[in-house]
Amino acid sequence: MLWRPERTTVRLPAARGPLGNFIIEHLRRAPHKLPGLLAPLDDPLRGDDFHLALLCSFQVQGRSFDDVADLWQWNASLVDFRAGLERRFETALAMSSDPVAASARGRVKEATVQDRVHAPAAMLARSGSPEQLEELLHHRALMTATAADVWSWLLPRAPTTGRSIIIRFGESVAQDASACSIDGLPGVSLARANVLWLLALNRGHGVALAGALAVAESVAARADRELSLAARRLGRADLAHDLQVSSERASQGRANEMAAELASDPIGAAAVAKGARWMLAVTRRWSGATLSASRGESRATGTPIRSA
């Protein structure tokens, strides 16, 4: 079977800075009005503290946490807290994303192949430890769980003719999703999940979520194939088989097909292109940071992929 968390429950993670400590400590209590908001101190594209706090506030809208009261979901002061972080993240994404990459229909797969954003998995296919494989599977599990949580937000924004293809995509991602702890995952990994949540929960972005999901699917198709080779090399035949099946499913391109359908008019095309650019921007950073950490060149934020 594919990587699954050992726990069947997911609790609030450990804080990694003042922003995360602020929101986590409040979420542990009964719903109430949050006091004055703290100013974020770290990088809005990859900071551990920033992205842990943002993802915690996002996940209250979805799977949430077993130790968070349900009534926090629509708490106005929590929504205000999240909105402040969203604005910083959106500004950083707009400034950092390539205005050309994935800007036209059919460019998503091409852009991800050229960038080799699946490189951490490709490296592990050649060399690396069982522990490194487990850590990459943890990164993978967060993206799979998040895609399963957010895809349905596209339905009310899509034209009637495009809804069936969205549902087919949702059915495919649900096959491989389960609750996933975010403890130990670095900010560059949490940022990829946060792009999906950002585009899902803000209808002003239209169908941009489809473009982000298309990039995630294209990366997963190649990465799962490489992870399958790594699992086989490390003597885990059952896992290798499951990853190969997952790669083949992602290679069917349902998210890319969905993005193409929703990009059939100028407004949809612009939104899909934006989502693709933003996801590609954070995935590039995740790939580079993960490769550096695996080689022992730097200590990525959070718990990095350990060098072999």
pLDDT in tens, 196-238: 999 999 999 999 999 999 999 999 999 999 999 999 999 999 9
Domain 102-294 in CATH 1.20.910? The answer is yes
Strand, helix or coil for residue 95: helix
Rounded to a whole number of angstroms, the CA Rg of the chain reads 18
How far is Cα 185 from Cα 139, in angstroms, rounded to an integer? 7
Lowest mean pLDDT among 24-28, 53-57, 79-83, 299-303: 299-303
Residue 181, φ and ψ in degrees, nearest 5: -70, 145
* 8 Å CB contact between 178 and 147: no
How far is Cα 130 from Cα 240, in angstroms, rounded to an integer? 13
pLDDT in tens, 129-171: 999 999 999 999 999 999 999 999 999 999 998 899 999 999 8
How far is Cα 278 from Cα 76, in angstroms, rounded to an integer? 27
Tell me how long the chain is.
308
How far is Cα 299 from Cα 123, in angstroms, rounded to an integer? 18
Q: In this predicted structure, what is the pLDDT of residue 286?
A: 93
| Boundaries of every domain in the chain | 18-30+42-95, 102-294
Q: In this predicted structure, what is the pLDDT of residue 57?
A: 95
Q: In this predicted structure, what is the pLDDT of residue 109?
A: 57
Q: Which two tokens stand for residue 122?
A: 């490709």
* Alpha helices, H only, the chain: 18-27, 48-59, 76-96, 107-115, 119-126, 130-150, 163-174, 187-201, 208-233, 237-251, 254-262, 266-294
Q: Which residue has the tokens 């609030």?
A: 12
Lowest mean pLDDT among 5-14, 88-97, 291-300: 291-300
